[in-house]
Chains A and B, each alone.
Chain A
Amino acid sequence: MRYLPNSQADRELMLREIGVKSVDDLFAPIPPEYCLNRNLNIPLQWSEAEVYDWFRARSAENGTEYSMFLGAGAYNHYRPVVIDSLISRGEFFTAYTPYQPEIAQGTLQSIFEFQTMICELTGMEVANASMYDGSTGAAEAVMMAVRLTGRNSAIVARSVHPEYREVIRTYAKHQGMPISEAAFAGNGRVDLAALDRAITDDTACVLIQSPNFFGTIEDVAALADLVHKRGALLVVSIAEAVSLGIVRPPVEADIVSMEAQSFGIPLSYGGPYAGVIATKEKFVRQVPGRLVGETRDRNGKRGFVLTLSTREQHIRREKATSNICTNQALIALMANIFMTVYGREGLKDLAKQNLAKTAYAVEQFGKKAKVLFSGAPRFNEFVVQTSEESYAISHRLADKKIIGGFPLIKFYPELGNASVWCCTELNTREQIDIAAGEVK
């Protein structure tokens, strides 16, 4: 077995030193009737070449080199090659949670930089060292709002990613936390009047997404006004992080829950991604997950440590703010490198290309079908209503190696044959023209 460094002679020597006859003596605590006396029903060991070939065949089956018009919570952006080059350093990917700060400063400083950039981009004062993903991060943000307000229910906009809403419902259900939904108006934004009627004295928070599931940018300031007047908190979820390059940050929010996948993290069939929770400084002790703080060593030298751990499960056990124990350090590092590569100018340039591609696509698609929600600004996603079923269009496009939009019929039957399409900097004019040509 090529991953095991000990020879048979080493093993025998160790057994002698321990004073047992065979390795099975070491497994004596397992009652004999439960010892597995056969091989697991798994093939015997494979060579590296066999492993590689098996996965290469799976990769080919999955289809490559399609052009992509799917967004819906997972975005197809270019990943600068330095990301994989740097995260492939064993010092980053084979290290553990930085419990021993003197020999984990690389991870700690990287996270501190990540926290800083997330604050800059979101307009918040503190950010954690990442959550599992955008959907669980949104659920944790809702629970955080419940702890902060002492109120027990939450309102989630219907224009929030449907799978985020499902995750929030799962988390909330067994904690006796009622969740209701707020409708969207004709322009795709949250219906303010309906929301106003829905908020009660028990509403801990209103969670919205901006840009929302339809690509529509919400009027965060107006929503915050309304929500704050009723004594609740506003949680803003951001699924498409690249939007922050050109869209005004949700500074009026109390909590921002973000999915960082757009920042250089591969689509990878849905994961691993990285969520983030950012908020105001006064709420920091209710933030779930890991936080890195700056401090000094004995000689006055700057260094970083995991901090404010009294909120965490290993100290507060059943009273912890959350059971979350891991963060997504390596994925956050990808995002950190991505944000550094593009930086202050590049994130804006990149977002502007996305905006231009989308504007062009909206114009082309609009010639053949009805583009919904045109009354509000949007970022890189748009909803097209067609006379034909969305699946039929996607099917035709697949033959041209194009992956079409996401059909909305399952989650929003009231929109009929509608689908949400996404254009990023990777969609060429030619592909947009072909896709638009097939829509009817």
Chain B
Amino acid sequence: MADTKCTPTVAAPGAKATTHISQNEGLIFELSSRGKKGYRLPPLDVPEVDEKKLLGKSAREDLGNMPEVSEIEIVRHFTRISTWNYAVDHGMYPLGSCTMKYNPRINEVVARLDGLAAAHPYQSEKISQGALKVLKTLSDYLVEICGMDAITLQPAAGAHGELTGILLIRAYMESKGNPRKKILIPDSAHGTNPATAAMCGYTVENLKSDSRGMVDLAALEAQMNEDVAGLMLTNPNTLGVFDQQIARIAKILHAKGGLLYMDGANMNALVGKTRPGDFGVDVMHLNLHKTFSTPHGGGGPGSGPVVCKRILEPFLPVPVIIERPDGTLGLEYNRPESIGRVRMFYGNFGMHVRALAYIMANGADGLRQTTEDAVLNANYIRKKLEGVFDLPYSTPSMHEVVFSDRLQTGKGIKTGDIAKRLIDYGFHPYTVSFPLIVHGALMIEPTESESLEEMNQFIDAMKQIAREAEENPDVILTAPHTTRISRLDEVSAARKPILRWKPQAQTAAE
């Protein structure tokens, strides 16, 4: 229900968002009552069994507080709570580095085709040729897009791809007699990079960025030695800046026997324009959900294929897809140097289907145009908001742009407050407080999916908020005003965690 208190003074004037029907809805457990059913099983065509006799003391007594509701109640419950979510389908979702682009509907349809959606991972190769063809075709296209030699589709997410990629480097180094000790990571890196290196048994050494937001070559020269297994570089980095010295970085690493890992999270800025394999990258992961439009789904599933140069191919996870002499496709497990397996089965196949459908629909020409539009859109927003918000790095932007809240902090307004106010204007906030090397960062990534009209509305909203910061800071500090609920107390949520529902009586008794 709309909170009438907040209108009209604090509702954003001219904002895209208006309050609309948003029904309160309890938890599913609170809607439940005994004896309701949302299912019906077919009649049993084999003799009934006595579970107590079959299972003995392993038989279960009761299912506790599991809900009991009818089908219409289920449909309404999930439909109602869905209306509380902002989504790409509602409007611009400029989360920098998260790449919230349009999710084409054909992807969803083909992923649900019976022969693909109902295929068992252990069914014989003979009746898996269709699925294997999907995997092989996607593999070939991704290898070509990245300018690499080999691939695994097994990793389940970007961070899982990082883990796989660093394990490949480690296995390669071990095959040369020494796994080495360190991984270098720029201070502008994603938080998963250092955590990944640590999981692979490496110590992390931070690498300074220079005043342009790029790797400081002098620092790299000084830090690079034969204890370093590799460098994890996000390129374009988290400032949205392409590191122009990339080939020299690769040379410095290679000269001392190290390898260059590229975090491919921002690959949507490069597809069809340049290829990491060509500029010296040895191994990288791709986030299919970012670059190739598989839906983010509220936080997953992702998919994080890893592509690499020939030297790393022997170490790829098993199984790998091969073409048999008779032209059929198969899965090969006999790879003695493999790092092993990083996930059961073959990875998030449903996401592979979607990514391939996206690549086919775009084609080589469409992929290049998509990249160009993503970069064009980001630069348009940069141009229009420069001066309204502080631009800490003037280095050219690729697919995203990072501002800071420096011009607004004088009034006590921080990037998080501006983000909350943006909600009142009908937009999802940008990425708040990241990257860490920019104090009070506002990281904006429109993606290619935004039209000029949508971006102009966003730009107007940002400008209006900047004016409000001067004239009426309170309206920002108390935002959002148009949502079903206001700002939530995250501190007490962490201090006294309530991580599950319990029935009233039980809660009272505790």
Contacts and interface: CB of A to CB of B under 8 A. Distances in A.
Contacts of A430: 45
Interface in B282-329: 293, 295-303, 317
Given A293-B497, A359-B54, A68 B120 contact: yes
A339 interface: yes
B351 interface: yes
A305 B349 CA distance: 30
Contact of B497 (A88, A167, A307): A307
Contacts of A304: 488
A347 to B, nearest CB: 6
Contacts, number: 681
A269 B351 CA distance: 11
Contacts of A372: none
Interface in A303-347: 303-305, 307-310, 312-320, 322-331, 333, 337, 339-347
A165 B352 CA distance: 25
A348 B37 CA distance: 13
B239 to A, nearest CB: 12
A392 interface: no
Most buried by B among A58, A129, A296: A58
A270 B131 CA distance: 11
A103 B95 CA distance: 14
B261 interface: no
Contacts of A320: 191, 195, 198
A377 B54 contact: yes
A343 B68 contact: yes
A427 B102 CA distance: 39
Contacts of A323: 159, 162-163, 192, 195-196, 198-199
Interface stretch (A112-120, A147-155, A197-205, A225-233): A112-120
A159 interface: no
A413 interface: no
Contacts of A356: 44, 46-49
A266 B350 contact: yes
A355 interface: yes
Given A36-B274, A55-B116, A269 B82 contact: no
Interface in B257-299: 270-275, 278-279, 293, 295-299
Nearest to A316: B195
A328 B41 contact: no
Interface string B428-472: 110010100000000000001111101000000000000000000
Interface in A237-277: 244-249, 266-272, 274
Contact of B63 (A120, A299, A325): A120
Contacts of A166: 340-341
B299 A326 contact: yes
Nearest to A27: B273
Contacts of B383: 17-19
A133 B367 contact: no
Interface string A31-43: 1001110011111
B302 to A, nearest CB: 5
Contacts of A272: 156, 300-301, 303, 348-351
Contact of B345 (A270, A303, A428): A270
A436 to B, nearest CB: 12
A342 B333 CA distance: 39
Nearest to A88: B108
Nearest to B75: A82
Nearest to A134: B344
Contacts of B219: none
A370 interface: no
Nearest to A360: B46
Most buried by A among B123, B492, B494: B123
B427 to A, nearest CB: 10
Interface in B27-83: 27-29, 32, 36-39, 41-42, 44-49, 51, 54-61, 63-69, 71, 74-75, 77-79, 81-83
Interface stretch (A71-79, A180-188, A381-389): A71-79
B277 to A, nearest CB: 10
A2 to B, nearest CB: 8
Interface string B465-491: 000000000000000100111111110
Contacts of A398: 124, 126-127
B119 interface: yes
A267 B131 CA distance: 12
Interface in A347-372: 347-350, 352-353, 355-357, 359-360
Interface in B98-146: 98, 100, 102-104, 106, 108-124, 126-131, 133-134, 141, 144-145
A116 B244 CA distance: 50
A65 B118 CA distance: 9
A174 B199 CA distance: 8
A10 interface: yes
Interface in A362-419: 377, 394, 398, 403, 406
A74 B195 contact: no
B364 A70 contact: no
A195 interface: no
A44 B363 contact: yes
A323 B124 CA distance: 34
Contacts of A297: 485-489
B84 A105 contact: yes
A344 B38 CA distance: 11
Contacts of B191: 312-315, 317, 320, 325
Contacts of B10: none
Contacts of A314: 191-192, 434
B63 A5 contact: no
B194 A317 contact: yes
A97 interface: yes
B180 interface: no
B494 A26 contact: no
B82 A100 contact: no
Most buried by A among B66, B106, B109: B66
Interface string A76-94: 1000101011101111111
A269 B60 contact: no
A23 B87 contact: no
Nearest to B399: A26
A293 B346 contact: no
Given A86-B78, A270-B347, A429-B46, A353 B37 contact: no
A5 B450 contact: yes
Contact of B75 (A39, A86, A312): A86
Nearest to A119: B500
B157 interface: yes
13 contacts: A1-B365, A29-B398, A51-B106, A61-B129, A66-B123, A70-B120, A113-B501, A121-B64, A167-B342, A267-B121, A271-B345, A323-B162, A323-B163
By Cβ-Cβ distance, the 7 closest A-B pairs, closest first, are A270-B345, A330-B297, A90-B89, A59-B115, A270-B121, A45-B363, A62-B130
Given A14-B377, A323-B163, 15 more contacts: A1-B362, A3-B104, A29-B396, A40-B272, A41-B144, A91-B86, A133-B344, A248-B58, A295-B488, A297-B488, A307-B494, A323-B195, A328-B301, A330-B297, A356-B44
